[in-house]
């Protein structure tokens, strides 16, 4: 019992004859007869009363009515399986860090899902270390994040440098400087992200290389929240440039002088092959983000 047999039965009922059904389906009439005989043998009932004009038996009418929905569902299933095989449908679990999660991904993801409406995408927004852990556990297909620590058994495809700039409240003592060195931060409050954040670790290494100037720090757990605390006068922060459009009221920016604090960002995945829908999204994001 398969979809072809269901279609044969439905065509016979619609056309009113085995001969006409065979012509419509481009089968030999013997093929149509054999399909129905095999179906009747499988079911253990007669489906048609043969004569000058064939008609369904009571069992045949019941089977015909019930099989219409079954055939429709089977066709839908076959189409869905074909879409999955071609990457036109499926589920993709994507990890992403800030600021890309808020400032890049929405527009890119909207365009992708408009082109591939049958692909379902779920997002995990977290730090790079957390995304690395999720990838290793198989909870994500791939991630858009900063470069992981050395030694991780994952594949990182670099795409762009996340540019950082200094954000200050208006009236800050360093506001008159054209650019700011890390050593200039001594004696001022610096707003920083959580200790697990790669940006925080990079900043701490750079401060150490600069001679560990005496800097008062305040930890703000969210990268995207930094600008709001600067605007409220809590201190100065080094923030992604993309997050400053528009610039928060009451703040100004200054270039960072000396070694760059910019973070290399790219696509992170396991070395095992991705599913077809994940490949579609991966390649789409790769092509769009490499142009930054």
Domains in the chain and their CATH numbers?
Answer: 3-85 (1.10.10.10), 90-161+264-289 (3.40.190.10), 164-261 (3.40.190.10)
Instruction: Read off the tokens for 269.
Output: 């995945």
Query: Which pLDDT score, from 0 to 100, does residue 130 have?
Result: 94
CB of 39 within 8 A of CB of 7?
Answer: no
State the Cα–Cα distance between residues 31 and 22, nearest whole angstrom: 8
pLDDT digits (tens, 9 = 90+) for 3-56: 889 899 999 999 888 989 999 999 999 999 999 999 999 899 999 987 767 889
Which backbone phi and psi does 166 adopt, to 5 degrees? Answer: -85, 130
The residue assigned the tokens 């808020």 is: 102
Q: Are 250 and 169 in contact (CB under 8 A)?
A: yes
Q: Is the peptide bond before 213 cis (omega within 30 degrees of 0)?
A: no
User: What per-residue confidence (pLDDT) applies to 2?
Assistant: 81
Residue 78 dihedral angles phi and psi, to the nearest 5°: -60, -40
Q: Extract the runs of DSSP E, i.e. beta strands, from the chain.
A: 48-49, 55-56, 89-96, 118-125, 142-146, 155-162, 164-169, 179-180, 189-192, 216-219, 236-240, 251-256, 263-269
Q: How many CB atoms lie within 10 A of CB 171?
A: 9
The rounded distance, in Å, linking the Cα atoms of 150 and 169 is: 36
**Adjacent-strand bridge partners of 156:** 268
Task: Note whether 244 and 217 are within 8 A (CB).
Answer: no
Token code pair at residue 156: 């990182």
For residue 194, give the DSSP letter.
-
Both tokens of 12, joined, read: 């016979």
Q: Report d(CA 29, CA 22) in Å as an integer.
A: 5
pLDDT < 50: residue spans in the chain: none
Determine the pLDDT at residue 212.
62
Dihedral of the alpha carbons of 105, 110, 111, 115, in degrees to the nearest 10: 130
> CA–CA separation, 126 vs 207, rounded Å?
25
Q: Output the six-digit token pair for 226.
A: 């930094």
């Amino acid at each position: 019992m398969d979809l072809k047999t269901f279609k044969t039965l439905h065509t016979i009922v619609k056309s009113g004859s085995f001969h006409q059904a065979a012509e419509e389906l481009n089968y030999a009439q013997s093929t149509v007869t054999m399909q129905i005989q095999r179906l009747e043998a499988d079911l253990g009932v007669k489906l048609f009363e043969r004569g000058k004009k064939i008609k369904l038996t009571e069992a045949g009418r019941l089977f015909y009515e019930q099989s219409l929905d079954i055939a429709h569902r089977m066709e839908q299933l076959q189409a869905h399986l074909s879409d999955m095989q071609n990457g036109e449908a499926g589920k993709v679990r994507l990890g992403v860090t800030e600021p890309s999660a808020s400032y890049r991904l929405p527009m890119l993801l909207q365009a992708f899902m408009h082109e591939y409406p049958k692909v379902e995408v779920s997002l995990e927004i977290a730090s790079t270390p957390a995304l690395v852990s999720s990838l290793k556990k198989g909870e994500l297909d791939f991630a858009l994040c900063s470069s992981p620590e050395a030694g991780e058994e994952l594949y990182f495809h670099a795409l762009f440098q996340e540019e950082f700039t200094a954000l200050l409240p208006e009236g800050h003592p360093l506001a008159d400087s054209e650019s700011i060195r890390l050593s200039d931060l001594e004696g001022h409050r610096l707003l920083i992200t959580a200790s697990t954040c790669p940006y925080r670790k990079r900043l701490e290494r750079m401060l150490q290389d600069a001679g560990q100037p005496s800097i008062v720090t305040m930890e703000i757990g969210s990268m995207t929240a930094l600008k709001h605390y600067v605007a409220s006068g809590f201190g100065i922060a080094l923030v992604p440039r993309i997050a400053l459009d528009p610039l928060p009221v009451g703040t100004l920016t200054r270039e960072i002088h000396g070694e760059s604090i910019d973070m290399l960002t790219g696509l992170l995945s396991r070395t095992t092959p991705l599913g077809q829908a994940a490949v579609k999204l991966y390649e789409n994001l790769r092509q769009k983000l490499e142009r930054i």
